[in-house]
């Protein structure tokens, strides 16, 4: 009886176990593969259990958006902490109620580059004389190193653990005679390699080979003595200073016929604006000998007429003229020295009728110069004088011309200091005059003055720059320079010819322009300045031409006569 009762209980219990419900637990993927360039993956849990949870054995590199919850459907974001140099895996175990556990295997593929490594520069250039440059390294790698290709390249450190660091690269002057190039290779384990190219041009060779002893023959007179014989000069503008070639800006090639005509018209001096950089090898600074010969040919046209001649370093793309900055000073002066060693040597045997002018309108802009601008501009003047004197022979005594900042009179009065010279009283100063701008140069826009002079301008107009201004400006130049035995070249002046005007307006303009040329010329001479009229050869509207460049015939008789009245009365 007892046995039958026990058997009944066991049968009832067994039936209850067979009827117990097992929870649902499903995961949409069994494996998640995270590519080398990715950081996340996703899987979804579906369950009818009251709650679920995930066991994550790789928390040091693998994180989950959730590790437990009560929702019946849950999307889980898997995130890795970054790239890995080797494949790594982890098994996530999901449990929910009495359902059998489910495993999801997460695998992250290996990456060639685990860390970031960047440089803010891919190339740098060391100046010819030597110096330094810097570049910055930024990296997430625990350590970085540098490999140097080029035994002339120096760096202040070659390894480090900093995440951000500035590297200083330096080199001595390049006396190899050729440009040298090298590389700095930046490396870190499991990071992309970076390269910084380093280059340095060679120092220019010296062109001052075996200078002769100083020779005063034919250059006996001082600047002030020579100035007594230079009456009025003319510019061959927009010709030999053109970077693309003498005729590149529309003027005919200069001839002996043209210079003969200029001399016959009453001028006894010629200023030849010259380009040199455009005709030089940029690696060696050697000037094309054919170009030197062409400039000499034009100089000789003038000497043949017993005229005084000035050759200079003109705008020429602005390589020097527009760069009075500390950052450019050393490099420009190196080239400037190379040029003037060649120019001075080539023309060394000419007598005192040939004068050298160092620069033209050196400026950073048209505003008041800073200390930097003045310092660098005056270093060009000093370099010019020192270089020419070093070439010996007649150049040891030749009269030279240096410029005020932007050849501006006010800046000259306020800032100019004459360079040192090893001979006395052999330097002229140079200024230019185009006041008032609204009359002399302004071609378009509002505020143009079409006439000049108190008897021409509208009553009550208040237009500046009239006769009293001319006299004040030239009087200040006289006081600063001429009265101190420093003669002054008025290297450029003039006013554009507004031939587009018509009728009475043109007639008034023409008459006032001729009056301007006469007045400025006379006032300059009265105050000890030597005037050189600016002629750019342009015969159209807003031009300055006096002559037809092709044959020497006079183009603007009225302007020419005005200049000569000013010079000779």
CA distance linking residue 351 with residue 357, whole number of Å:
15
Alpha-carbon distance 289 to 277, whole Å?
13
What is the Cα–Cα distance from 400 to 420, expressed in whole angstroms?
Answer: 12
Positive or negative: CA dihedral 40, 46, 51, 52: negative
Are 173 and 128 contacting, i.e. CB atoms less than 8 angstroms apart? Answer: yes
**Which position among 361, 430, 514, 518 bears the catalytic label?**
361
Q: Find, among 322, 415, 409, 412, the residue nearest to 364 by Cα.
A: 322
Does residue 370 contact residue 320 with C-beta atoms inside 8 Å? no
- Here the tokens at position 157 are 């450190």
> Is 492 annotated as catalytic?
yes
Q: Which of 339, 348, 347 is nearest to 207 (CA)?
A: 339
Assess contact for 159 and 116: CB atoms under 8 A.
no
Return the SS3 of 566.
helix
Strands (E) located in 216-321: 233-235, 269-272, 308-311
**What's the full length of the chain, in residues?**
569
Q: Which of 246, 321, 352, 492 is catalytic?
A: 492
- Could you count the other beta carbons within 10 Å of the beta carbon of residue 448? 12
Q: How far apart are the first and last CA of the chain?
A: 160
- The phi, psi pair for 270, rounded to 5°, reads -130, 135
Residue 361 annotated among the catalytic residues of the structure: yes
For residue 520 the two structure tokens come to 């400025």
User: Please, are residues 402 and 385 in contact by the beta-carbon 8 Å criterion?
Assistant: yes
Strand partners, 15: none
Determine contact, residues 216/397, Cβ cutoff 8 Å: yes
Nearest CA-CA partner of 105 in 92, 95, 96: 92
The answer to whether 423 and 442 have CB atoms below 8 angstroms apart is: no
Q: Measure the CA–CA gap between 343 and 340, rounded to whole angstroms.
A: 5
Structure-token pair, residue 53: 């949870």
123-126 β-sheet, strand order: 123-126, 194-200, 180-187, 144-149, 159-160
- The alpha carbon of residue 331 and the mean position of all alpha carbons in its chain are separated, in whole angstroms, by 12
Continuous segment of H or E residues that includes residue 126: strand 123-126
In three-state secondary structure terms, 337 is helix
The Cα 221–Cα 559 span in angstroms is 33
Euclidean distance between CA atoms 172 and 85, whole angstroms: 41
Exposure of 125 by Cβ count < 10 A (0-12 exposed, 13-18 middle, 19+ buried)? middle
Instruction: Provide the annotated active-site residues.
Output: 361, 492
């Amino acid at each position: 009886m007892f046995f039958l009762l026990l058997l009944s209980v066991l049968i009832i219990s067994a039936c209850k176990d067979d009827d117990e419900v097992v929870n649902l637990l499903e995961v949409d993927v069994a494996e998640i593969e995270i590519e080398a360039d990715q950081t996340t993956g996703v899987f979804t849990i579906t369950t009818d259990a009251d709650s679920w949870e995930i066991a994550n054995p790789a928390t040091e590199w693998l994180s989950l958006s959730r590790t437990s919850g009560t929702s019946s459907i849950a999307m889980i974001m898997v995130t890795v902490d970054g790239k890995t140099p080797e494949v790594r895996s982890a098994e996530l175990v999901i449990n929910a109620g009495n359902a059998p556990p489910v495993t999801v295997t997460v695998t992250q593929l290996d990456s060639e580059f685990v860390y970031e490594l960047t440089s803010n520069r891919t190339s740098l250039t060391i100046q010819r004389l030597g110096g330094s440059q810097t570049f910055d390294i930024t990296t997430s790698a625990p350590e970085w190193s540098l490999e140097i290709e080029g035994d002339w390249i120096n760096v202040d450190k070659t390894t480090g653990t900093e995440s951000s660091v500035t590297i200083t690269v330096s080199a001595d002057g390049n006396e190899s005679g050729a440009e040298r190039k090298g590389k700095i290779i930046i490396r870190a384990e499991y990071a992309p390699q970076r390269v910084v190219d380093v280059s340095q041009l060679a120092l220019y060779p010296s062109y001052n080979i075996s200078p002769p002893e100083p020779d005063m023959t034919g250059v006996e007179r001082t600047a002030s003595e020579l100035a007594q014989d230079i009456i009025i000069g003319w510019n061959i503008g927009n010709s030999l200073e053109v970077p693309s070639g003498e005729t590149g800006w529309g003027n005919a090639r200069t001839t002996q016929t043209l210079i003969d005509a200029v001399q016959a018209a009453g001028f006894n001096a010629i200023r030849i604006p010259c380009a040199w950089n455009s005709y030089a090898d940029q690696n060696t600074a050697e000037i094309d000998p054919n170009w030197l010969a062409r400039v000499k040919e034009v100089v000789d046209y003038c000497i043949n007429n017993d005229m005084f001649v000035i050759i200079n370093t003109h705008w020429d793309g602005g390589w020097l003229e527009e760069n009075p900055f500390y950052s450019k000073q050393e490099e420009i002066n190196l080239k400037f020295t190379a040029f003037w060693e060649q120019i001075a040597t080539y023309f060394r045997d000419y007598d005192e009728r040939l004068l050298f002018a160092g620069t033209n309108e050196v400026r950073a802009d048209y505003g008041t110069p800073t200390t930097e601008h003045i310092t660098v501009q005056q270093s060009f003047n000093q370099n010019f004088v020192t270089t020419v004197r070093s070439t010996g022979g007649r150049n040891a005594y030749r009269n030279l011309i240096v410029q005020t900042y932007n050849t501006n009179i006010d800046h000259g009065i306020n800032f100019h200091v004459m360079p040192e010279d090893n001979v006395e009283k052999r330097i002229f100063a140079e200024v230019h005059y185009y006041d008032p701008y609204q009359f002399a140069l302004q071609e378009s826009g509002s505020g143009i003055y079409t006439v000049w002079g108190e008897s021409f301008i509208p009553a009550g107009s208040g237009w500046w720059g009239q006769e009293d201004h001319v006299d004040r400006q030239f009087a200040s130049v006289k006081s600063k320079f001429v009265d101190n035995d420093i003669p002054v070249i008025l290297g450029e002046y003039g006013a554009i010819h507004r031939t587009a005007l018509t009728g009475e307006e043109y007639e008034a303009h023409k008459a006032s322009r001729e009056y301007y040329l006469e007045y400025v010329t006379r006032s300059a001479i009265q105050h000890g300045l030597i005037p050189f009229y600016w002629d750019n050869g342009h015969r159209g509207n807003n031009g300055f031409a006096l002559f037809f460049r092709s044959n020497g015939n006079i183009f603007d008789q009225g302007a020419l006569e005005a200049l000569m009245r000013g010079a000779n009365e």
